[in-house]
Amino acid sequence: MATSGFKNYLSLIKFSHTIFAMPFAFIGFFYATKTTNTPFNALLFLLVIMCMVFARSAAMAFNRYIDRAIDEKNPRTAIREIPSGIISPSNALTFVIINSLLFIATTWFINPLCFFLSPIALLVVLGYSYTKRFTALCHLVLGLGLALAPIGAYIAVAGKFDLLPLMFSFAVLCWVSGFDIIYALQDETFDSQNQLNSIPVLLGKKNALAFSLGLHFLSAAFIIVAGMLAQLGLFYWIGAGVFCSLLVYQHRLVKPNDLSKVNLAFFTTNGIASVVFACFVILSLYF
């Protein structure tokens, strides 16, 4: 029973989707370790991972809690844990509160700047859940939430801001916003009928895909600028090439009149892109 309940909460927060932002947190962490000549600290590394897990768990569970009535009406999402009765709304909200407190508590053990910035980070990642009720730019708010990963991990080590991790954060913002628009294509009709905002509702499927492609070009540009600023070697550019190629590839998978491969574009392609890119960036820092 306990194992089943644990799996239900992992499903609630789509724990597997942590693969999107976590590799960029590793980039920020190892870039800070290398460039500030800070010895690798296993405890600090673990604390950064914990922050990522707690913040994302709180954000995802809060999104499911806030959207429970919407999810119940949408045939695509009616099987989710709260509308289907697997997890009660009160238990989901308790889960959000616990993870939010654990996130703030974990930042306390990292450094003062991370601790003082933690409520702002929570405001961003939790606030996203309300945005589709009043703006089509909700995808950018989601992107902003995940974009905190590389700069947050850098601050955890260095205790300050820096330009290069911000470049990676801008890359993540455009990348995530772009693929979230692709994912939102599935709900264009439902969202329009229920007065919910999104880029597909605002622009239509074809123009939404073009908008997404534009964001992905910006993401690639930030990746390229970051590599030039850091003067990183061959491994970096191999990783950047793979990342940018996969951005283009996902747009070949999805067409305005054929959304059958949205999940392949959303999860598989982007998951591979982030992991491969992070591996090559970290290799470029040390070899």
The DSSP bridge partners found for residue 258 are: 255
For residue 45, the enclosing domain spans 2-286
Joined tokens for residue 96: 């959000």
* Residues in Cβ contact with 155 at an 8 Å cutoff, skipping those fewer than 6 apart: 32, 111, 113, 114, 117, 161
CB atoms within 10 A of CB 36: 13
What tens digit of pLDDT does each residue of 32-71 get? 999 999 999 999 999 999 999 999 999 999 999 999 999 9
Mean pLDDT for the chain overall: 94
Report in angstroms the alpha-carbon separations of 146 from 22, 25, 56, 156: 9, 9, 9, 16
Give the number of domains in the chain.
Answer: 1
What tens digit of pLDDT does each residue of 188-239 get? 999 999 999 999 999 999 999 999 999 999 999 999 999 999 999 999 999 9
The answer to whether residue 17 scores a pLDDT higher than 80 is no
What tens digit of pLDDT does each residue of 150-168 get? 999 999 999 999 999 999 9
CB atoms within 10 A of CB 207: 13
Backbone angles phi, psi at 258, to 5 degrees: -145, 100
The answer to whether residue 1 scores a pLDDT higher than 60 is no
- pTM here is 0.95
Report in angstroms the alpha-carbon separations of 34 from 37, 210, 224, 281: 5, 38, 20, 12
* Percent of the chain's residues with pLDDT above 90: 88
Q: Hey, CA dihedral for 179, 47, 98, 170, is it positive or negative?
A: negative
Compute the distance between CA of residue 184 and CA of residue 110 in angstroms, rounded to an integer. 36
Rg (CA), the chain: 19
What tens digit of pLDDT does each residue of 248-265 get? 999 999 998 899 899 878
What confidence category does residue 268 fall into, taking pLDDT thresholds of 50, 70 and 90? Answer: confident
What tens digit of pLDDT does each residue of 79-134 get? 999 999 999 999 999 999 999 999 999 999 999 999 999 999 999 999 999 999 99
**Residue 147's domain is classified under what CATH number?**
1.10.357.140
CB atoms within 10 A of CB 256: 15
Q: What is the pLDDT of residue 2?
A: 55
What is the distance of C-alpha 7 from the center of its chain? Answer: 21
Element housing 116 (H / E): helix 112-131
